Structure 1
Amino acid sequence: MHDTLYLPQQPPQAVPVEGLSMPDPATGFARVPERVPVLLDCAPELVDVLASGPGYVAYSVFDCEGPANPAAMVAVAAVSGVAFDSEDEDTVLRGAVLVVTG
């Protein structure tokens, strides 16, 4: 597994994989491990499973009003196949984003 934390206006940071997990292969359900809100620096109830699929899960902070995170938009688009439009406020990723790939 590879885990990368994307913080706005900072280079991507590799984070240790301990305590993180991939979506359940049978159901596709992506749970939120206890470590995720710590890495995203938010309350557990604010963690959003942004996208998940076979081999990846991306977490963000629900309804974050922080700065745009273009590096996270590129990373999530690469694993999910869903493009983000930096001109569309409804699709811009903001704040911290954690991408876990397997």
Structure 2
Amino acid sequence: MYATLYVPQQPPQLITTQGLVLPDAITKLVSIPERVPLLLNCAPGLVDILASDTGYVAYSIFDHEGQINHSAMVALSELTGVRFGYDEDETLCGTILIVQE
């Protein structure tokens, strides 16, 4: 398992997976470990799950209106097959954390 932190206008950062988990293999339920809001620099109640499946989970800050995160949009598109555009409803903004197998 590995984790990548995508901060707008910075290169992606591989981070340690200590304290991070993938969705449950049977139920596919996703938890939000205590470390996630610390990495995203937000309150625990603002963590949003962008996408998940048995092999990955992507977290962001709910309704964040910061800088567009181009590198996270590319990475998440490649991982999920979902294409992101540049209108308000299709862009990813702020810090994104992707944990995957």
Shorter-normalised TM range:
over 0.9
1:32 and 1:77 mapped to 2: Cα distance? 22
Structure 1: gaps of 5 or more residues: none
- Which residue identity is paired with 1:61? I
TM-score, L = length of structure 1: 0.97
| Corresponding position of 2:63 | 63
TM-score, L = length of structure 2: 0.98
2:90 and 2:98 mapped to 1: Cα distance? 17
- Which residue identity is paired with 1:60? S
Task: Give the total of aligned pairs.
Answer: 101
1:30 and 1:83 mapped to 2: Cα distance? 22
Structure 2: gaps of 5 or more residues: none
Structure 1 SS opposite 2:60: strand
Structure 2 SS opposite 1:33: coil
- Which residue identity is paired with 1:98? L
Alpha-carbon RMSD: 0.6
| Corresponding position of 2:44 | 44
CA-CA distance at 1:89 after TM superposition = 1.0
